[in-house]
Amino acid sequence: MRTRPFGRLGHEVSELALGTWGLSGDGYGPVAEAEVDRVLDRALELGITLFETADVYGRGAMEKKLGARLAGASVRIVTKIGTLRAEASDGPEPAADKRFDPASLGRAFEASRERLGRDKLDVVLLHNPSEQVLRDRDAAYFLQQLVTEGKLEAWGVSAGSHDVAHRAIALGADVVELAYNPFASRDLHRLSDELAVAPTALLARSVLAHGLLTGHWGPERVFEEGDHRALRWKPNELRHRLRQLDALRPLVGGEVLSLRAAALRFALANALVTSVVLGPRRVRQLDELVREAGPGPRYLPDTALADLSTRLKRYGIAP
Ligand SMILES: NC(=O)c1ccc[n+]([C@@H]2O[C@H](COP(=O)([O-])OP(=O)(O)OC[C@H]3O[C@@H](n4cnc5c(N)ncnc54)[C@H](OP(=O)(O)O)[C@@H]3O)[C@@H](O)[C@H]2O)c1
């Protein structure tokens, strides 16, 4: 497992991180507890040293699980606070049920500390705050204070838009998390100049566009109840998105064996990305992703990337 420097913190983390939203059962439907345990154990075996979660995933159950299963392992856990209950989609829109006032954040932080079983937490992010929350500064200041007091190693923001991420970087966030894939790359690309000079670590999530970019789905794919994708794409929209995958097919070739590998390597190929937050729901999926990340730079041939934006435009994608 290759590693990259974790922003200003000075230590290295694995360039692949394990995200746990899918494993929690929220968002994509239930996962058997034994499989969750196997995925976590396998992630450790494979050398993953960064785990990503949120206090609301499984209503706290995922933090508890990570606290117990990873106890004693030399890994970092990123958690997120500021949401009172799980959102249907964990999407980019800040939901109404958000609490970023210092009193609520204080209670959430203590609850996370308890569930994770650690006196000092590694990384805490504000979970999809609005831009206004960051303009007000109280929430960011609250987390900064925890760092100053030694209760927290690093703070940051999981951002649903360019503007939120931009403001987080300006406030000196240690870590910013953002969606990044060939169909949704504009936010990160617009932040490139800032990120190149800021000591902010960048976590790239949703690198498979929630599974769409694997290219495994047929046009009639139906999502079960409880799967956020049923709300995200109506059948017509899904068929349209699937046709747009043709824009990515030229990335496949040589040692890039599949669309899934191409999408994963697209994120890894960006040197501004500290770690790619994977979302496997089974051990098999995790193994495939780690294998397909490949042996390291170059992740994708420059020639394959060079005309990607033209091709995306041709397919009506404004990434
Ligand atoms: N606001 C936030 O902070 C935020 C928002 C979203 C996500 N995240 C974090 O980022 C992680 C990843 O995000 P995401 O769920 O949006 O991710 P994603 O990586 O784009 O998609 C995950 C989905 O892709 C499919 N998949 C995964 N590995 C596969 C494989 N090897 N082969 C085929 N299909 C595969 C699975 O769907 P199937 O069920 O179809 O197999 C899985 O549910 C989450 O777990 C979460 O921890 C954070």
Check if 86 has its Cβ closer than 6 Å to any atom of ligand 1: no
Whether the pLDDT of residue 90 is over 70: the answer is: no
Check if 20 has its Cβ closer than 6 Å to any atom of ligand 1: yes
Ligand 1, atom nearest to 289 Cα: 31
| Mean pLDDT calculated for residue range 9-26 | 96
pLDDT tens digits, residue range 108-160? 999 999 999 999 999 999 999 999 999 999 999 999 999 999 999 999 999 99
| Mean pLDDT calculated for residue range 277-284 | 98
CATH code reported for the domain at 3-210+259-301: 3.20.20.100
Confidence band of 94 (pLDDT split at 50, 70, 90): very low
Check if 28 has its Cβ closer than 6 Å to any atom of ligand 1: yes
Ligand 1, atom nearest to 24 Cα: 45
Nearest CA to ligand 1 atom 37: 211
> What residue spans define the domains of the chain?
3-210+259-301
| Mean pLDDT calculated for residue range 172-188 | 97
Q: Are 222 and 275 in contact (CB under 8 A)?
A: no
Whether the pLDDT of residue 176 is over 70: the answer is: yes
Confidence band of 226 (pLDDT split at 50, 70, 90): confident
Ligand 1, atom nearest to 27 Cα: 15
284-299 burial, b at 16+ Cβ within 10 Å, e below that, comes to ebbebbbebbbeeeeb
> At a CB cut-off of 8 Å and minimum separation 6, what does 107 contact?
none
Whether the pLDDT of residue 205 is over 50: the answer is: yes
Provide φ and ψ at 185, rounded to 5°. Answer: -115, -10
In this structure, of 13-17, 100-104, 109-113, 305-309, the range with the lowest mean pLDDT score is: 305-309
| Mean pLDDT calculated for residue range 204-213 | 98
Query: Percent of the chain beyond pLDDT 70?
Result: 96
Check if 285 has its Cβ closer than 6 Å to any atom of ligand 1: yes
Residue of 66, 158, 213, 277 to mutate, ligand 1, most atoms within 8 A of C-beta: 277
Check if 177 has its Cβ closer than 6 Å to any atom of ligand 1: yes
In this structure, of 170-179, 218-227, 253-262, the range with the lowest mean pLDDT score is: 218-227
Q: What is the mean pLDDT of the chain?
A: 93
| Mean pLDDT calculated for residue range 204-224 | 94
Three-class secondary structure of residue 54 per DSSP: coil
pTM exceeds 0.75: yes
Q: Are 144 and 114 in contact (CB under 8 A)?
A: no
Ligand 1, atom nearest to 213 Cα: 20
* pLDDT score at 87: 52
Q: Is the dihedral of CA 176, 177, 181, 187 positive or negative?
A: negative
Nearest CA to ligand 1 atom 9: 19
